[in-house]
Amino acid sequence: MATDSKAARWKVIVGYGAFAVVAFILCLMFTFPYDMVRTRLVTEAAQAGFAVRIGALRPGLAGVTATDVRVSKPPQPLSAETVAALARGEGGMLGAAELGEAVVLDSVALRPTLFPPGVAVRASIMGGTATASVGWLGDMTVRAELNKLKASGGNLPKFTGVDMDGELSGVLSLSVPKGKSPEPDLSQANGELSLDTQNLIIKGGKASLPMGAGQSMAMDLPQVALGGLVGHILFEKGMGTVKELKLKGDDVELLATGTLKLGKRLEYSEPAMEVNVRLDPEAQKRLGLLAAGLTILPPDKKDPSFRAAKLGGFLNRPTFLPRR
């Protein structure tokens, strides 16, 4: 009898425990502030100049997960009415003409972190994963990692206008000192950026090539085997020194040295790099106008097999000019 009584108590305890867990999950699902989370994400993105559409939100035991997330750069600033519609989840009628082509993220999970206090993000995107963490105690710390993202995935070809293939990987680690402004000032950041991509191929598409003096030339892109891109840049008080930046494939080889000065916002960062580029002779015949454009570049003084150029301007308005 004593044994049966103990077994019965054990079953009761397990039953109550299971009921409590199920009740907690159901309560979380029905009472979670989905609208508040969606509104915060949409409005924060809109302030940074992006449009965010979220297919669905669901809670997790340690955070919240968004699925079918679309991030785009609108051709014009979003109106208050459009932001409000996106915050209500009513952006389905808006397309690329209003919001721009979007990068598609299958899912994004956000959760708070304790050491250091902040937030962690994990996204399934472009056939790979992207993780990031932001710490808010003292100086803001940011660490982001891309792991084997497919250059052909997530609607990236339409977003960039370039049809590409290959794998993208990299790690960014920055410490951003607190300033007087509530927004982080990247121009004072310390850290490093590492890039490691494989088998990059441009299959086609369109691109605007910077020609200097604010001018650019639109052209159709031929197929180009870019190969692997490896890079390592160290940042100290916003000034990035290129330790290594090279691209080598069957059709092209490129080497870059110099600096990348971070702006308060990333798009205003200023590259000041000396670039050497060399095309394979067979590829030069196939690339036509693009290859002809490179012939205006002078030969590099140390290795005449390379053409010498200088990359300047801003990241959102770069210039690519002959280096004298």
Identify the residue with better confidence: 232 or 160: 232
Report the distance separating Cα 106 and Cα 55, nearest Å. 10
Instruction: Taking residues 49-74, report their average pLDDT.
Output: 82
Question: Which pLDDT does position 237 carry in this prediction?
Answer: 93
Angle subtended at Cα 114 by Cα 143 and Cα 137, rounded to the nearest 5 degrees? 65
Question: In this predicted structure, which of 41-50, 55-64, 171-180, 181-190 has the lowest mean pLDDT?
Answer: 55-64
- Decide if pLDDT at 275 tops 90: yes
Please report whether residue 120 resides in a domain: no
Query: Is the residue at 201 inside a domain?
Result: yes
Q: What is the mean pLDDT of residues 157-163?
A: 82
Whether this prediction's pTM lies above 0.85 is answered by no
Residue 110 lies in a domain: no
φ and ψ at residue 169, rounded to 5 degrees = -140, 150
Q: What angle do CA 234, 236, 241 make, to 5 degrees?
A: 40
> Is 173 within a domain?
yes
CA dist list (Å): 69 to 124, 252, 299: 10, 35, 46
Residue 115, domain member (yes or no): no
Tell me which residue has tokens 């196939």. 286
Alpha helices in 100-137 (DSSP H): none
Q: What is the DSSP letter of 299?
A: B
Average pLDDT score over residue span 284-301: 82
Establish if 123 belongs to a structural domain: no
- State percent of the chain over pLDDT 70: 81
Number of domains in the chain: 2
Higher pLDDT: 115 or 210? It is 115
Average pLDDT over residues 179-197: 84
Judgement on whether residues 167 and 315 belong to the same structural domain of the protein: yes
Reading the block at residue 190, the tokens are 């310390």
Q: Which has more pLDDT, 194 or 210?
A: 194
Q: Which domain holds residue 205?
A: 161-324
Task: Work out the widest C-alpha separation in the chain, in whole angstroms.
Answer: 97
Inside any domain, residue 186: yes
What was the pLDDT predicted at 61? 58
- Report which secondary-structure segment, H or E, holds 163: strand 162-176
Q: Is residue 246 part of a domain?
A: yes
String of DSSP letters for 181-242: SSS--GGG-EEEEEEEEEEEEEEEEEEEEEEETTEEEEEE---EEEEEEEEEEEEETTEEEE
Across 113-117, 231-235, 242-246, 294-298, least confident range:
113-117
| Burial (0-12, 13-18, 19+ Cβ within 10 Å), 187 | middle
25, pLDDT greater than 50? no
- Mean pLDDT across the chain, nearest whole number? 81
